[in-house]
Amino acid sequence: MLEIKNVREADESRDFPKGHLDVVSLPGMNFGVAKFEPGWRWSESVRPLAGTDSCQFSHIGYVAQGRLHVLMDDGTENEAGPGDLFVCSPGHDAWVVGDETALVYDMAGEMTDYAKPQNA
C-alpha cells in the first residue's frame, strides 16, 4: 500500500474558540495540524465540545511555533516550545503561553473526534 496526502489539503477542518484544526486521514493514521491563538485554553475552548472535565485524547506531537503549557490531572505539568516533541496521555488541560500563536502537529491518530461536538 502507498498513499500520500498533503497537509495543505485537509480532509476535514474544525474551528473552535481561539483555535483551528485540520485533519488529514491516511490508512492507520490521522494527522492533525492545530493552530492555537494566544489566550486559547483547552478547558475553555474545547471542553464544551468534548463534554469531559479534561482532554481524554492521547497526543504525540511536535511544536513548530509558540508555546503550550500542559497540566495533567495528577498535577504533573510542563511546557513545550518550538522544536519540542511531546507525548501526552489522556487526562490533561493545556493552554498557550505568551502572545504567539502555537502551531502543533499531532500524530496520535485520534484526531477524528478531537474538538467535535459530542453529539456529532
- For 4-58, what is each residue's pLDDT tens digit? 999 999 999 999 999 999 999 988 888 999 999 999 999 999 999 889 999 999 9
Q: Nearest 10 degrees: CA dihedral of 32, 38, 43, 47? A: -50
The span from the CA of 21 to the CA of 39, in Å, is 16
pTM of the model: 0.89
Residues in CB range of 114: below 8 A, 6 or more apart: 14, 21, 23, 32, 46, 57, 106
The span from the CA of 19 to the CA of 41, in Å, is 9
55-111 residue pLDDT tens: 999 999 999 999 999 999 999 999 999 999 999 999 999 999 999 999 999 997 665
Cell numbers placing 9: 489539503
